[in-house]
Amino acid sequence: MSETDQNEQHRLIAKAMNEGSPQAKALGFSTLEIGDGVAILKVPYRTELVGDPETGVIAGGVVTTLLDHASGQAVHAAMSHWTSIATLDLRIDYMRPAEPGKDILARAHCYKLTRSVAFVRAVAYETDPEDPIAAAQAAFMLDSSAGKKAGANLKPPGSSKPESEKKEGGQ
């Protein structure tokens, strides 16, 4: 795949993740940059997203979702082919409150890919990544939907697992 095709593919994945994911759409996420294991996303300030009504500061949970989403896109931006991914863990340090009324950006970098796991660092900020609101460290499982079909979560647990993953004597 040429570099141009690769960039186009990453942009399409970002678009699908922002518009196809109902929560990302509800929060108004957009991707400003994507490529080479890096993704920069934006969430616009809205009063419905406030966490502390006394200060008007956006909820930590919105920053959590933005960092998780940006980190996921950074993982896709580090790979040449699409694969399903799932967050294993996410650690976030909140350094300071976000400035009320301002949009928040998140820059995520997938700095290591192994066969099964991707490692990501990310920061959230208004204008300067060197003056972050929050910093995150995350690990993602790759090929997380292996053996799962679309709609797998609509069925009771266990019924969608491949035979090899089922416990002996299990359901």
Partner 1 sequence: MSEAQDRLVAVLGAIPYARFIGMKAELAGDEMTAILPFSPEIVGNPMLPAIHGGVLGAFMEMTALAQLSIAETLKRQPRTIDVSIEYLRSGRPLTTYARAQIKKVGRRIANVHVEAWQEQRAAPIAALRGHFLLTGAED
Q: Does 157 bind partner 1 (CB under 8 A)?
A: yes
Which residue, 48 or 168, is less far from partner 1 as judged by CB? 48
Cα dist from 77 to 32, 42, 153, whole Å: 13, 17, 26
- Shortest CB 3 distance to partner 1, Å: 28
Site for partner 1 (CB under 8 A): which residue of 3, 4, 22, 115?
A: 22
18: Cβ contacts below 8 Å, ≥ 6 apart: 24, 25, 29, 30, 31, 41, 69
28 or 35: CB nearest partner 1: 28
Can you tell me the distance from the alpha carbon of 88 to that of 72, in angstroms, rounded to the nearest whole number? 11
Exactly one of 45, 65, 119, 125 binds partner 1 (CB under 8 A); that residue is 65
d(CA 158, CA 105): 38
Q: Which residues bind partner 1 (CB under 8 A)?
A: 20-24, 26, 47-54, 58-62, 64-69, 84, 86-94, 97, 145, 148, 150-154, 157
